[in-house]
Structure 1
Amino acid sequence: MSFTTGGSRWLDVGLATSARGIATCGEYLAATTLTLSLQSSGAGGRAVAGVLLAATLPLVVLAPLTGRLADRVDSRTLLVGAGLAQSVLCLGLAYAGHPLLVVCLVALLASGLAVTQPVLSALVPSMVRAVDLPRATALNQTAGTLGILTGPALAGFLVGGFGTRVPLLVGAVGYLALVLAGLLLRTRRGGARRSVAIGEGVAAVESAGVGGSAGEQWRLRRDPLLVAMVATLAGVIAAIGAINVIEVFYVRETLGASASVYGLVTGAWTLGVLCGAWIFARLARRFTDDGTLVQGGLLLLGGCCLMVLASVTVPAALLLVPIWLLGGICNGGDNVFHTVVLARRVPEAARGRAFAAVGAAVQGAAMVGYLIGGLLLEVTAPRPLIVGCGVAGLLVLLGFVVPVRRAVLAERARVRQVAAGAGLTTSVAAG
Structure 2
Amino acid sequence: MQVAEATGYRALLHNRPFRLLLLAYAINTFGNWITVVAALALATFKWHASPLELGGMVSVFLAPAAVAGPLSGWLADRLDRRCILVAANLIACVVVLAMPLAASIWHAYLILVVLRLVSSVNQPVMSALVPSLVRAEDITRANGILLQPAHATRAVSPLVGGLIVGGLGASAAFMVDAATFLCAAALIGLLLAGAGETACSPASQAELHLVPGASSIALRGLIPLAMIALAASFSFGALDSVAPLYVRDLLNLDVGAFGAVVSAIGLGAMIGGLAPGIRPEADRPLLFGMLVAIGGFLIIAATQSFWTLLIGSWIAGFGSGVVLTSGQTLIHCSIARAHHATALGMMSAVVNVGALAGITIASLLVSAAGVTVTLWLLAALLTASLPAAPGKSRRIQASASFETTSPR
Contact 1:273–1:328 (CA<8 Å) still a contact in 2?
yes
Structure 2: state its 5+ residue gaps.
Answer: 1-10, 402-408
User: Shift of residue 314 of structure 1?
Assistant: 4.0
User: Shift of residue 249 of structure 1?
Assistant: 6.3
Superposed CA deviations along residues 55-78 of structure 1, whole A, max 9, x for unmatched, are: 122111233321211211211111
User: Shift of residue 331 of structure 1?
Assistant: 1.6
TM-score by length of 1: 0.77
1:317-356 correspondence to structure 2 within 5 Å? 321-356=310-345
Contact 2:241–2:359 (CA<8 Å) still a contact in 1?
yes
1:296 and 1:215, CA in 2 relative to 1: closer, same or farther beyond 3 A? farther
Corresponding position of 1:194: 197
1:313 aligns with 2:304: yes
Q: Distance in 1 between matches of 2:300 and 2:49?
A: 25
1:139 aligns with 2:145: yes
User: Shift of residue 147 of structure 1?
Assistant: 3.5
Corresponding position of 2:289: 297
Contact 1:152–1:267 (CA<8 Å) still a contact in 2?
no
1:44 and 1:321, CA in 2 relative to 1: closer, same or farther beyond 3 A? farther
Deviates most, 206-215 or 96-105:
206-215
CA-atom RMSD in angstroms: 3.5
User: Shift of residue 37 of structure 1?
Assistant: 4.9
Give SS of 2:254's match. coil
User: Shift of residue 15 of structure 1?
Assistant: 0.6
1:137 and 1:307, CA in 2 relative to 1: closer, same or farther beyond 3 A? farther
Q: Which amino acid aligns with 1:274?
A: M
Contact 1:127–1:187 (CA<8 Å) still a contact in 2?
no
1:140-155 correspondence to structure 2 within 5 Å? 140-155=146-161
Q: Which amino acid aligns with 2:214?
A: Q
Corresponding position of 2:378: 393
Contact 1:152–1:263 (CA<8 Å) still a contact in 2?
no
Q: Distance in 1 between matches of 2:146 and 2:337?
A: 18
Contact 1:93–1:168 (CA<8 Å) still a contact in 2?
yes
Instruction: Give the one of 5, 9, 16 matched to 1:11.
Output: 16
TM-score by length of 2: 0.81
Corresponding position of 1:286: 281
1:271-282 correspondence to structure 2 within 5 Å? 271-282=267-278
Q: Distance in 2 between matches of 1:355 and 1:86?
A: 21
Structure 1: state its 5+ residue gaps.
Answer: 1-6, 197-203, 419-431
Contact 1:298–1:397 (CA<8 Å) still a contact in 2?
yes
Corresponding position of 1:372: 361
Q: Which amino acid aligns with 1:155?
A: G
Superposed CA deviations along residues 280-327 of structure 1, whole A, max 9, x for unmatched, are: 3213x132x4xx1232232133145336536x8246xx9865543333
User: Shift of residue 113 of structure 1?
Assistant: 2.6
Contact 2:301–2:375 (CA<8 Å) still a contact in 1?
yes
1:170 and 1:299, CA in 2 relative to 1: closer, same or farther beyond 3 A? same
1:65 and 1:401, CA in 2 relative to 1: closer, same or farther beyond 3 A? closer
Instruction: Name the % identity.
Output: 22
Q: Distance in 2 between matches of 1:154 and 1:413?
A: 43
